Amino acid sequence: MNQNNDSDSTRRRFLQGAAAVTAGTAIASSSTLLSSIAFAQDPPTCPTAPVGGVPFTPGSDKRPIVLRNSISALSGSQLAQLKLAFVRLRALGSSDKRTWLLQADIHSLFCNQCNGVSMQIHDSWGFFPWHRAYLYYYERILGSLVGDIDQFRLPYWDWENSRSMPAAYLSPSNSGNSLWDGRRDSGIAGGGSLPASDGTTARINTLLGITDFATFGGTAGIGGACENDPHNIIHGDVGPHAPPFEDMGNLGYAARDPIFFSHHCNIDKLWSAWNAQAGGGTAYHNPTDPGFLNARWSFYDENQQVVSISAGDVLSHEDNLRYTYQGRKINIPIFYAIYKCEFLCCTPGPDPGPFLKVSQEVRESVLTQVGAGNPAVLVLSGVEIPQSVSGAFDIAAIRGDRRSPMGALTILGDTKRDKTHKPVTLFLDISKAASDLLAPENPASIHLFNRHPEQNRTKPFILRAQGAQIRTGSMKQEPRS
Ligand code: C2O
């Protein structure tokens, strides 16, 4: 267990305590509960990894640049084509390199480090480019199966505006529907909406106000803010809420659900929108580090050939991968003031005690900003995820009996990944919590609340961060297109 490593605690301060035993969740903290959780083996079959292969040449794809559209905007015949593509994908013989199952297992290959694949593409800066490359080849396979590789593009699930799962993926709710998956949360599967706080326009706009890629999209060893929220959060909302969370809530299985691809298109669109704000200077630019650009991964293409593609190859999706997205009209915040914060150690238990320690000067400027209606976020970087913890948690500042929501954390299931999981970035909206968090007397502490304590029993745990910052700014006025 890594929670109580005292020698580390002065350098990497404790962040917070007691998920699942805080107010309102009277779950016993016995560790025997945890050991009784039976995780499935991930992945179910670790496929032989494609290695090497013909390197992608930028400019070699000369198909037209075609819009990836929202599912809700697809015509009847486009929807029928999408369904047909998945019908044919699912019907491929088991030795084929394009099968639905093998493709899903290729996703899990890159999170489980089996069969010689050493790269974990989650919780790192490889997250955005790897998934973009994966979608590209998957899209080509689907397009070729319906004889329309030039025009077929994956649609996205615009969960920001379409709050329930698109109907085509839900009904008919049986295996006659190639977009259906029987392993989803029953509420979502029954046409229910996402939790009101998840994947919102406000959240996305705030994320688009981040100017540095490290915070937005991660570093070599730390996951970026988008990966947890909204990416993991929506995964967890769609999958069942009990371990082992398959399909969507478990990385070993997630790509078996066709909604995975439309969810990831929406994530990819978010990255694209973030980059679209770039001008001179470094803001909104991808990393230029060769370690980022030269990461190279192998896939199977529509001809079952092994191909390889690098992160650098996928950065310009219009030029190189031949798809585009509709521009986004946004009012995003600009964060221009960054305050490094000290945060206090806390001990395990229901009340971890006060959290942030800031100077009087910082307190005053942050509270003045918030009082004027400006955005304020708390960035906790390098938050270490304890082994074997999975599930969805709301994060709130607690002071007295006041609970101010700040965000959420979803840790996707995947037993093998627990051996190697990397720290994440939490990017938390503290507009409502700031006055409690920064109060000079008895300031708020930060707690995690298990969203589904009856279905997912977790013992208390502590999160530690490597750094904390408060960022404040103002709303940028001009909409961008
Ligand atoms: Cu590779 Cu949405 O996960």
Packing angle, helices 127-145 and 76-91, rounded to 10: 90
414: left (phi over 0), alpha (psi -120 to 50) or beta: left
Ligand 1 centroid to Cα of residue 224, in Å, is 13
pLDDT score for 116: 64
What percentage of the chain reaches a pLDDT higher than 90? 67
CA 91 to chain centre: 30
Q: Is the CB of 231 under 6 A from ligand 1?
A: yes
Packing angle, helices 259-275 and 201-208, rounded to 10: 40
CB-side neighbour CA atoms (13 Å) of 459: 15
Q: Is the CB of 416 under 6 A from ligand 1?
A: no
Ligand 1 centroid to Cα of residue 210, in Å, is 22
Instruction: Give the pair of three-digit tokens for residue 117.
Output: 């694949």
Q: pLDDT tens digits for 396-429?
A: 999 999 999 999 999 998 655 445 568 999 999 9
Q: pLDDT tens digits for 52-69?
A: 999 999 999 999 999 999
Instruction: Give the pair of three-digit tokens for residue 425.
Output: 């970035």
Q: Find where tokens 């409690």 sit.
A: 436
Take atom 3 of ligand 1 and give the residue whose Cα is closest. 251
Is 11's pLDDT higher than 60?
A: no
Which atom of ligand 1 is nearest to 231's Cα? 2
Do the Cβ atoms of 216 and 274 come closer than 8 Å? yes
Is 202's pLDDT higher than 60?
A: yes
Is 234's pLDDT higher than 50?
A: yes
pLDDT score for 350: 57
Q: Find where tokens 């486009």 sit.
A: 78
Q: What is the SS3 assignment for 463?
A: strand
Q: Is the CB of 254 under 6 A from ligand 1?
A: yes
Nearest by Cα to 83 from 179, 181, 180, 170: 179
pLDDT score for 206: 93
Q: Is the CB of 417 under 6 A from ligand 1?
A: no
What's 49's DSSP letter?
Answer: P
Q: Is the CB of 132 under 6 A from ligand 1?
A: no
Q: pLDDT tens digits for 305-344?
A: 999 999 999 999 999 999 999 988 777 888 888 887 776 5
Ligand 1 centroid to Cα of residue 209, in Å, is 23
Do the Cβ atoms of 213 and 207 come closer than 8 Å? no
Q: pLDDT tens digits for 44-56?
A: 567 888 999 999 9
Ligand 1 centroid to Cα of residue 266, in Å, is 12
The mean pLDDT of 182-211, rounded to a whole number, is: 96
Q: How many CB atoms lie within 10 A of CB 151?
A: 12
In order, the DSSP letters of 209-252 are T---HHHHHB-SSSB-HHIIIIIIHHHHHHS-SSTT-TTTTBTT
Ligand 1 centroid to Cα of residue 251, in Å, is 6
End-to-end CA distance of the chain: 48
Q: How many CB atoms lie within 10 A of CB 65?
A: 13
Q: Is the CB of 269 under 6 A from ligand 1?
A: no
Rounded CA separation 383/189 (Å) = 32
Question: For the chain, what is the mean pLDDT?
Answer: 85
What kind and span of H or E run contains 379? Answer: strand 376-383
Q: Is the CB of 88 under 6 A from ligand 1?
A: no
Total-model pTM? 0.90
Instruction: Give the pair of three-digit tokens for residue 394.
Output: 């709301």
Nearest by Cα to 428 from 221, 225, 150, 125: 225
Q: pLDDT tens digits for 142-156?
A: 999 999 999 999 999
pLDDT score for 15: 39
Ligand 1 centroid to Cα of residue 22, in Å, is 30
Is 14's pLDDT higher than 60?
A: no
Q: Is the CB of 122 under 6 A from ligand 1?
A: yes
